[in-house]
Chain A
Amino acid sequence: MSMLELRSVSKRYGQGANEVDAISDIDLAVERGSLVAIMGPSGSGKSTLLTIAGSLEEPTTGEVVIDGARVSGMSRNDKARLRRRSVGYVFQDFNLLAGLTAVENVSLPLELDGVSMKKARAQGMVALEGLGLADRAESFPDQLSGGERQRVAIARAVVGERSLLLADEPSGALDSVNGEAVMRMILSACHGGVAAVVVTHDAKLASWADRVVFLRDGRAVDETLPPPSPEELLNPDAPNPA
């Protein structure tokens, strides 16, 4: 079963003459353990797609199914619970609450869900350790570097049983080495059974994905074929694009 499923989802903003279709008629299914990248130029509706997939916004038409549950028709509180339990977000540059330490940030979704502070903290530490940040657990966000902040954000996005990771330009503010580290982490989360969707305009980041969906003017126009094996690449007969 797909972790995330979008069924002919459209989103329309504005009214009358100002009406704009941000995305139209998108179908997308993301399995557990797979990483899907959404690529497209600015204004192609990538971010809208992600916020709708994460229940932050309602689609105008179409249906969103997260972990088998239909989002449309849910109450605000039910959606909040869905986000606490199933969905993790990683944004471009702003991810952590300033007043909380790294580990507090990571364990916050669990605490919001009613897990006791002690247990939530223990799980948060596990998530941080998994990303090599155990020694930074007590640091506040402004004491962390940009790369560390994004890693903490990923830890928070996958802490507990959460299995859908949505990332919007997760390495946008980072250099390519740190960006690569972030993508490696998302990929390793996927190997652990998480379904991930990464929105980006950067082909280098998108190339980490199992599948790249190309968005243009709010429509999914194309997507990559299933990946070839590495051996094919080393074949000297492989076509050279340049």
Chain B
Amino acid sequence: MDDFRLRSERRPSEGGIPARRAVTHWAWRLFRREWRQQLLILALITVAVAATILGSSVAVNNPPPKDAGFGTAPYSASFASYSAKAQTFIAKAAHLGTVQVIENVTYSIPGSINTYQLRSQDARGPFGGPMLSLINGHYPSSADEVAVTNGVASAFHLSIGKTWKVGGVNRDVVGIVQNPQSLLDAFALVVPGQVTNPSQVTALFDVPASAIRSLSEGVQISTPASVAASNPLNPETISLAALVLGMLLIALVSIGGFTVLAQRRMRSIGMLESIGATDRHVRLVVSANGTVVGIVGAILGLIIGFAGWLAYRPSFEQSAHHLIGVFALPWIVVMLAIVLAVLAAYFASSRPARAVTKIPIVHALSGRPAPPRQIHRSAVPGVVFLVAAFLLLGYSGGTGGGNGSGGAPELLLGLVLLTPGLILLAPFFLSLTERVSRRAPIAARLALRDLARYRARSGSALSAISIGVLISVIVVLAAASRFSNVLDYAGPNLDSNQLALHTAFPPHGVNIVHRNAKGQLVPVPNQKTETATPAQLAAGAGQIAKGLNAHLVALESPNAFLSGTQGGRNWSGQIYVATPQLLRAFGIKASEINPKADVLTSRPGLSGVSGLAMGYGTNSKKSVLRGGPAGSDRHPLIQEISALPSGTSAPNTVITEYAMKRFHISMSTSDWLVVGTQSFTAAQISSAQLTASTAQLQVESRNDIPSGSTIINWATLFGILIALGVLAMSVGLVRSETSSDLRTLAATGASSYTRRTLTAVTAGALGFLGALLGVVGGYIAMIGWLRSNSLNGGISALKDVPFGDLMLILFGMPALAAIVGWLLASREPAVMGRQPIE
């Protein structure tokens, strides 16, 4: 806009600000008159902005706050009791800086596996503020007062005013409190000094950096680990990428919409030109309208997104287990969403705006349908782009150590080139419909011919559909090729009723650091920590299993490994020993096992892999594991047993006792599997983690890694939804172009059957062409990539494509679109008699 003003000031002959004001004014009126025609574009932008705001807010706020457990303190240290060491440390820290001490003692809730803590913490302490907030009543101010969390209150049927004996003292309940940083934290708050036998003493403190070194002697000092900052794929980045892609799609779809609008206003625009509007004014009319749509959509999206956030925040806080501020939105993402929405609408409208100024005024004025613009129907430019993308992807294989010689830039450029390739191929594909149409019945012929004739607007819809399908096809194919590899096994780690326990060192989630001479935080070298004995570890694991009322399976790790390569990927995963206890836990009878089998596995297809060798023993004399001499078995007998668990962290592949004896393989216990009767709740997992932390164990619970079929199904759904959404928008637009045809058809006696066929064929044909183009593009990309990238299984990995999902995209989606088009196209044209005044 700025350079526009400058230019027009240099050339006042263009009418300057009053002219632009008048033209924009008209554009605004047009938008108000015809907002219904733009409703679809508006809705698309609104939904995109609202979804971005809500989605990114949830994604950004879902992980626990970085400073959880630290309050406002930069350092913390924990002690198992008020030992002399602890007292010395606290005194020293208090001398050097500020300290706040929080004492905890854990009690169990009777009749429950859950526990709560009696906590003494000064509510007005220097650091603990963010860890404590008052819901009701007031904080305890004397020894005979206590404030409890909602969880504790309901467990003990407490309310303000009642008396409760806790920590051996009768106390009045004076308040309901919570830990905003962890809503799962169940505790009873008393004034400092009331916890006489703490099981955990935490010192939050702040001292000058130079003093840390002297304090850290023999004590673990923790700082908030800045995990999020070091991760390049943080939620904001992902939401931004999704936003850019989404807005690109919207812009593509909207081009068609704005082209139709410009077409419909052609006579008005010719009129405007005849009374002396310049090309610039005309362009301004169309693009001002686009910008208005963008702004209105962005504002509506902001309002809806924020309202959705306000409505969802309370239940989201519960599921995320910490309090979240009302305005804790990722504002950069929100602002970018708004800017991108306006930009997308502006660019989508500026292309038709330029096209409009190229129409001769006399043609525009007469309002006779402009001869359809002859878009090059040559497939050559599109094919060139696709070939270039194919070659680039072919060279990109080097990223993963495959045969290709290129790297990430080639991969990225190749994927980027696919888009213009598809956009340029769209008109060519549309020109094919005309050939198909020649033998079709009249309604279908008309629909197909219109698609081919008005390629300018059906082309952008086709591009949008094909890009949506392309994305989903690439994801489907990539997931299929990745998840089909039995050696490098991918998928969920555990079932939801399973927990894996691992020996923990160093303690999970805490970095042992100190500041070096330059004041930088560095890990403490050779930090000596007491290591729990195997017996202590086993006892801890038993305690966890008991607390969860679950079955414990000790997992024995053999001094053996599997090695082999298939499809460019090596064996990955832990193998365990098929102890009788393990087999029993999964209901496998000895009779089911081939007595000569060396390895049992739940990985489908592993027994068919040739060249899988089993190595055992160790050449290193220093090894803590004692065993027989090292060696390898080139052809172990592998038996597939589906009863074994399939999770990547579960014992999915085990060595039989037969093989253990045969090769004199030793073993040791380092992991346990906890198997419950039903899914573990978040509270149960949290309590297990609490127990584990004192027993030097780590709890691994089911993670969010989806299974291959989940990814494929979601990707398929995504592709179908995008395609249908685009169709819902663009079919209306493509058909509205020919609404006068519809009037003529009705006048010549066409029934609703004809109208329905027109819409259904338009939707179905557009959907099918888009799906075809997307699938072809996706295959080209994946063949190019996999050809060179043997790491991902080479081209042979494509043999396992989920046929059903591709068929669903290729045929199911167009069929659904056609049916919906058929059902929705029953309305008569609203105005038969007269053309509305333009």
Residue-wise interface mask of A (56-86) relative to B, using a CB-CB cutoff of 8 A (1 in contact, 0 not): 1100000000000000000011101111110
Chain A residues with Cβ below 8 Å from B17 are 114
Chain B residues with Cβ below 8 Å from A89 are 274-275
Chain A residues with Cβ below 8 Å from B273 are 56, 80, 83
B361 within 8 A of A: yes
Q: Is A111 a contact of B278 with CB atoms below 8 Å?
A: no
Q: Select the stretch in A95-103, A127-135, A213-221 that faces chain B.
A: A95-103
Q: Select the stretch in B8-16, B83-91, B596-604, B757-765 that faces chain A.
A: B8-16
B1-34 residues with Cβ-Cβ distance < 8 A to A are 11-19, 21-23, 25-26, 29-30, 32-33
Given contacts A114-B12, A117-B22, contact A98 B277 (CB under 8 A): no
Q: Is B15 a contact of A84 with CB atoms below 8 Å?
A: yes
Closest to B17 in A: A114
B519 within 8 A of A: no
Closest to B361 in A: A56
Q: How far is the CA of A97 from the CA of B19 in the complex (A)?
A: 15
Dominant secondary structure at the B interface: helix
Of the A-B pairs whose beta carbons lie under 8 Å apart in the complex, a sample of 21, sorted by A's number, is A51-B362, A56-B273, A57-B361, A57-B362, A80-B273, A83-B274, A87-B276, A97-B26, A98-B837, A99-B29, A99-B30, A100-B29, A108-B26, A108-B272, A112-B275, A112-B281, A113-B15, A114-B18, A117-B22, A120-B18, A142-B837
List residues of B whose CB falls within 8 A of some A CB: 11-19, 21-23, 25-26, 29-30, 32-33, 267-268, 271-279, 281, 360-362, 365, 367, 836-838
Q: Is B275 a contact of A109 with CB atoms below 8 Å?
A: yes
Chain A residues with Cβ below 8 Å from B271 are 91, 94-97
A156 within 8 A of B: yes
Closest to B268 in A: A97
- Minimum Cβ distance to chain B for residue A93 (Å): 10
Closest to A166 in B: B274
Q: Is B362 a contact of A56 with CB atoms below 8 Å?
A: yes
A116 within 8 A of B: yes
Q: Is B15 a contact of A114 with CB atoms below 8 Å?
A: yes
Give how many A residues have a beta carbon under 8 Å from the other chain's beta carbons: 38
Interface centre among A78, A81, A98, A99 (most CB of B within 10 A): A99
Q: Is B29 a contact of A85 with CB atoms below 8 Å?
A: no
- Minimum Cβ distance to chain B for residue A75 (Å): 10
Closest to A110 in B: B18
List residues of A whose CB falls within 8 A of some B CB: 51, 54, 56-57, 76-78, 80-85, 87-89, 91, 94-100, 104, 108-109, 111-117, 120, 141-142, 156
Chain B residues with Cβ below 8 Å from A77 are 11, 13-14, 278-279
- Minimum Cβ distance to chain B for residue A40 (Å): 18
Closest to B30 in A: A99
Q: Is A112 a contact of B365 with CB atoms below 8 Å?
A: no
Chain A residues with Cβ below 8 Å from B22 are 104, 108, 111-112, 117, 120
Q: Which residue of A82, A91, A94, A104 contacts B276 across the interface (Cβ within 8 Å)?
A: A82
Closest to A95 in B: B271
- Minimum Cβ distance to chain B for residue A136 (Å): 15
Q: Which residue of A82, A117, A156 contacts B18 across the interface (Cβ within 8 Å)?
A: A117
Q: How far is the CA of A78 from the CA of B13 in the complex (A)?
A: 8
- Minimum Cβ distance to chain A for residue B835 (Å): 10
- Minimum Cβ distance to chain B for residue A32 (Å): 20
Closest to A157 in B: B275
Chain A residues with Cβ below 8 Å from B19 are 111-114
Q: How far is the CA of A78 from the CA of B11 in the complex (A)?
A: 11
- Minimum Cβ distance to chain A for residue B9 (Å): 11
Chain B residues with Cβ below 8 Å from A76 are 278-279
Contacts beyond the supplied A88-B275, A114-B14: 11 A-B pairs with Cβ under 8 Å: A57-B361, A80-B276, A89-B274, A94-B267, A94-B838, A97-B268, A99-B29, A108-B26, A112-B15, A112-B281, A114-B17
Q: Which residue of B272, B276, B361 contacts A97 across the interface (Cβ within 8 Å)?
A: B272
- Minimum Cβ distance to chain B for residue A100 (Å): 6
Q: Is A111 a contact of B275 with CB atoms below 8 Å?
A: no
Q: How far is the CA of A116 from the CA of B17 in the complex (A)?
A: 8
Q: How far is the CA of A87 from the CA of B33 in the complex (A)?
A: 29
Closest to B33 in A: A99
Chain B residues with Cβ below 8 Å from A98 are 30, 33, 268, 837-838
Interface centre among A80, A89, A108 (most CB of B within 10 A): A80
Interface centre among A82, A104, A113, A142 (most CB of B within 10 A): A113
Interface pairs A-B: 7 shortest CB-CB:
A84-B276, A99-B29, A111-B22, A83-B276, A114-B15, A80-B278, A114-B16
Q: Is B272 a contact of A111 with CB atoms below 8 Å?
A: no
Chain A residues with Cβ below 8 Å from B281 are 112
Q: How far is the CA of A123 from the CA of B15 in the complex (A)?
A: 17
Q: How far is the CA of A87 from the CA of B277 in the complex (A)?
A: 12
Closest to B27 in A: A99
Q: Is A80 a contact of B838 with CB atoms below 8 Å?
A: no
Chain B residues with Cβ below 8 Å from A87 are 276
Q: Is B275 a contact of A108 with CB atoms below 8 Å?
A: yes
Chain A residues with Cβ below 8 Å from B272 are 97, 108
Closest to B13 in A: A81
Q: How far is the CA of A66 from the CA of B317 in the complex (A)?
A: 74
Chain A residues with Cβ below 8 Å from B15 are 84, 111-114
Interface centre among B274, B281, B365 (most CB of A within 10 A): B274
Q: Which residue of B18, B21, B32, B276 contacts A81 across the interface (Cβ within 8 Å)?
A: B276
Q: Is A54 a contact of B26 with CB atoms below 8 Å?
A: no
Q: Is B277 a contact of A80 with CB atoms below 8 Å?
A: yes
Chain A residues with Cβ below 8 Å from B836 are 142
- Minimum Cβ distance to chain A for residue B265 (Å): 9
- Minimum Cβ distance to chain A for residue B611 (Å): 72
Q: How far is the CA of A120 from the CA of B15 in the complex (A)?
A: 12
Chain B residues with Cβ below 8 Å from A81 are 13, 276, 278
Q: Is B276 a contact of A112 with CB atoms below 8 Å?
A: yes
- Minimum Cβ distance to chain B for residue A161 (Å): 13
Chain B residues with Cβ below 8 Å from A84 are 15, 275-277
Q: Is A141 a contact of B837 with CB atoms below 8 Å?
A: yes
- Minimum Cβ distance to chain A for residue B10 (Å): 12
Q: How far is the CA of A201 from the CA of B272 in the complex (A)?
A: 26
Chain A residues with Cβ below 8 Å from B11 are 77
- Minimum Cβ distance to chain A for residue B26 (Å): 5
Closest to B838 in A: A98
Q: How far is the CA of A116 from the CA of B278 in the complex (A)?
A: 18
Q: Which residue of B18, B29, B837 contacts A111 across the interface (Cβ within 8 Å)?
A: B18
Chain A residues with Cβ below 8 Å from B267 are 94
Q: How far is the CA of A97 from the CA of B26 in the complex (A)?
A: 8
Q: Which residue of A51, A99, A156 contacts B275 across the interface (Cβ within 8 Å)?
A: A156
Interface centre among A54, A83, A95, A108 (most CB of B within 10 A): A108
Closest to B282 in A: A80
Q: Which residue of B14, B32, B276 contacts A109 across the interface (Cβ within 8 Å)?
A: B276
Q: How far is the CA of A84 from the CA of B281 in the complex (A)?
A: 13
Q: Which residue of B23, B29, B279, B367 contacts A112 across the interface (Cβ within 8 Å)?
A: B23
Q: How far is the CA of A134 from the CA of B128 in the complex (A)?
A: 75
Chain B residues with Cβ below 8 Å from A104 are 22, 25
Chain A residues with Cβ below 8 Å from B21 are 111, 117
Q: How far is the CA of A91 from the CA of B270 in the complex (A)?
A: 12
Chain A residues with Cβ below 8 Å from B277 are 80, 84, 112
Q: Is A113 a contact of B276 with CB atoms below 8 Å?
A: yes
Chain B residues with Cβ below 8 Å from A156 are 275
Q: How far is the CA of A105 from the CA of B838 in the complex (A)?
A: 13
Q: Which residue of B18, B360, B837 contacts A116 across the interface (Cβ within 8 Å)?
A: B18
Q: How far is the CA of A116 from the CA of B29 in the complex (A)?
A: 19
